[in-house]
Structure 1
Amino acid sequence: MTDQLQQVVSAVRELVPPHDLLAVYLYGSATTTGLRPYSDIDVFVVVRRPLSGRERWGLTERLLGISGAPGRPVELTVVVLGDVVPWRYPGWQEYQYGEWLREACERGEVPVGRAEPDLAVLMRMVVADGRVLAGPPAGEVLPEVPGEDVARAVAAGVPGLLGELAEDTRNVLLTLARAWVTLDTGEVVSKDAAAGWALDRIPGEPRRALEHAREVYLGEAEEDWGRVGPGRVADCAAYLAGRVRELAPSTG
């Protein structure tokens, strides 16, 4: 991870002038449970003004070369300080690159700013466990996101997750489990910890799909959803999504 992380930080420093770059943080499993076989390298960047077109292109081109095989996937998120301080939901995300965007980026599409509910979850993680790569500690830069906004964000993500179940089964099941944990306890935990918590509460057949997702995530099994069975996968996703909807805050 070290070489890739250094490359990411170098790319940010080279493309964003020092007076505009406020902070860079490593967060996620790298700073909590430790990287798992399928973990991303999660990097969060705070800047003082919106990125220029040249900076977006440059970041995208550099990340296409840094992220993914033979190394780890990189997820890099950029926010403008004035867009998140004071905090308002949904937060404005200035830029984000992840491997799910690779094909679009290789076609010449460049990530643009957008209102992003999930930014509430990311910022909660950065403030709680972010490791400084540049700038002040995260708690001195970013606000504490209210728990109700974190809850709204994880609930808002459920429809999109279910739409990706067939193509990204492991990640969808683990993320739904984490959403359930967050809504029930108020905590944002690692995916394997969330699966362990949820497995203690799931009855019967749906358990097997989440067990397999956790085993694969931890590197204890090869991914084989045919062995689990599509019916069990669908039942597990429906059960987890149902628990999330039951606990989701009212939008009325």
Structure 2
Amino acid sequence: MSEQIQTALAALHNILGDMLLAVYLHGSAVSGRLQPQSDIDLLAITERDLTEDQRDGLLTALLRISGRHPATAGGARCLEVMLFRRSDLARTAYPARAEFIYGEWLRDGFEAGERPMPTRDPEHTLVLAQARQDAIPLFGAGADKLLPEIPQKHVRRAIGDALPALLGGIHGDERNVLLTLARMWRTASTGEFVTKDAAAVWAIPQIQSRDASTLDYARRAYLGELADDWSSRSDATQRLAAYLRDQVIESL
């Protein structure tokens, strides 16, 4: 484990104590494809609700431990930390409920005084489904013991329900949105979860050349092979996003 992961794990233990049941590492760090701007993804399971003091204490700790976006070479990586109650996971309700979420896209709000509160979101369902497939325990039982097996009908519904918000946030986040759409297409078509760059490699041969070049640009930027500049690619981005959206919907 990196020092940053160890520090985050220690903070979870210190703040949550014996109500902390498990902590998992998932996402790019587990797939072996940790890219220059990849977050460190942690998922924790708690026995009960967080108190206000625990919620505030964990937020303060993560604001200190997590690197700001965009990450700098050699500096701290951005953290994404999600907490789920065991009772919520046992019910596998849709959409999944998260007890606490930290991510760098939320930092401005947190620094302005917002507090991370419980939320229900289709994205939570997708995170749980993927984590059940690839997460490794840093503390506690294996993922197959505590993380639920998400029904495929919930996965497919979550992909469809997450599309509008994803597309609505494309401006300023072009690379991530296009690669996420490619990954949604892959999952909707095959039922498998893969990394963003692997999804792009799968999708590119199925796309017309001018749009394929845009997706390959996103893939190469994700891998750190070129500068991530979308200022002159607005039309191409919108065209590709619309095409990928249509493929996702058709596959669903």
Q: TM-score range, shorter-chain basis?
A: over 0.9
* Structure 2 counterpart SS, 1:157: helix
Aligned to 2:14: 14
* Structure 2 counterpart SS, 1:17: helix
Corresponding residue to 2:159 among 154, 161, 164: 154
* Structure 2 counterpart SS, 1:167: coil
CA–CA distance in structure 2, aligned partners of residues 209 and 53 of structure 1: 45
Corresponding residue to 1:196 among 193, 198, 201: 201
Runs of 4+ in 1 over 2 A off after TM superposition: none
| Count of residues paired in the alignment | 246
Aligned to 1:5: 5
Letter in 2 for 1:9: L
> Cα distance, 1:105 vs. partner?
0.4
Aligned to 2:181: 176
Corresponding residue to 2:83 among 50, 64, 78: 78
CA–CA distance in structure 1, aligned partners of residues 168 and 44 of structure 2: 29
Provide structure 2 residue ranges, at least 5 long, that are not aligned to the other structure: 69-74
- TM-score, normalized by length of structure 2? 0.94
Listed one character per residue, the Cα deviations across residues 81-119 of structure 1 (whole Å, up to 9, x for unaligned) are 001103121111111100000000000101110112122
> Cα distance, 1:208 vs. partner?
2.1
CA–CA distance in structure 2, aligned partners of residues 239 and 213 of structure 1: 15
CA–CA distance in structure 1, aligned partners of residues 138 and 158 of structure 2: 27
CA–CA distance in structure 2, aligned partners of residues 233 and 208 of structure 1: 11
Corresponding residue to 1:121 among 123, 126, 148: 126
CA–CA distance in structure 1, aligned partners of residues 251 and 51 of structure 2: 40
What does 1:92-131 correspond to in 2, within 5 Å? 92-131=97-136
The answer to whether the Cα contact below 8 Å between 2:22 and 2:141 also exists between their aligned partners in 1 is yes
What does 1:20-39 correspond to in 2, within 5 Å? 20-39=19-38
CA–CA distance in structure 1, aligned partners of residues 124 and 171 of structure 2: 25
CA–CA distance in structure 2, aligned partners of residues 242 and 68 of structure 1: 35
Alignment partner of 1:243 is 2:247: yes
Aligned to 1:57: 56
> Cα distance, 1:179 vs. partner?
0.6
Alignment partner of 1:215 is 2:214: no
Letter in 2 for 1:5: I
- TM-score, normalized by length of structure 1? 0.94
> Cα distance, 1:149 vs. partner?
0.8
